[in-house]
Amino acid sequence: MSHSNNATEQVLRSSGVDVRKCMRCGKCTATCPAFDEMEYHPHQFVYMVEKGEIEKLAASPSIYKCLSCFACVDRCPRGVEPAKLVEAVRLAVIRQQGQNHMKPEAIPAMLDEDMPQQLFVSAMRKYSK
């Protein structure tokens, strides 16, 4: 099994998503609040994972643009849940040694006095292992 097949297997297993259920309606991308920030959009995550193009997704800043709002999860008429693929690809990246996307030492420069603890707890959970 090639490296790419292994990566695809891992993303499918970790996300629990059945990409074959997708009927290409594009509703996930239409409803995504981060749509215009993304190089690859939610519907592209679905078919690129199906085609095994994990490396392109893993190298894209798109994996850090998802807001985890669950809009695509809730509004998909086929129950595909694309956000789970974005999360699985991001985890495959940040779980590697040295690949944390947000580092604690970078946080002081981002702070303002009103920021709730919840903001950095969630950001660190999303961006770092």
Partner 1 sequence: MKFSYFPGCTLKTKGKDLDIFARKSAEALGFELCELADWQCCGAVYPMAKDEIATKLSSVRALVSARDEKRELVTLCSACHNVIKQVNNDMKTDADIALRVNNYLDLPTPYNGETTVLHYLEVLRDRVGFDKLKAAVTNPLKGRRIAAYYGCLLLRPSKIMQFDDAENPTILEDFIRAIGAEPVTWGMRNECCGGYIAAEDRAQAEKRSSTVMEDAAKNGADTVITACPLCLYNLAKNGGSDLPVVYFTELLAEALGVK
Stretch that binds partner 1, among 1-9, 20-28, 47-55, 109-117 (CB under 8 A): 109-117
CB atoms within 10 A of CB 80: 25
Is 65 one of the binding residues for partner 1 (CB under 8 A)?
yes
Choose, by CB under 8 A, the member of 8, 43, 87, 94 that binds partner 1: 87
Tell me the residue type at 76.
C
Is 71 one of the binding residues for partner 1 (CB under 8 A)?
yes
Is 108 one of the binding residues for partner 1 (CB under 8 A)?
no
Distance set, CA 84 to CA 52, 54, 105 (Å): 16, 14, 28
> Apex CA 100: angle with CA 17 and CA 97, to 5°?
90
CB of 89 to partner 1, least distance (A): 10
Give SS3 for 49: helix
Which residues lie near partner 1 (CB under 8 A)?
13-16, 33-34, 37, 64-65, 67-71, 73-74, 83-84, 87-88, 91, 102, 107, 110, 112, 114-123, 125-127
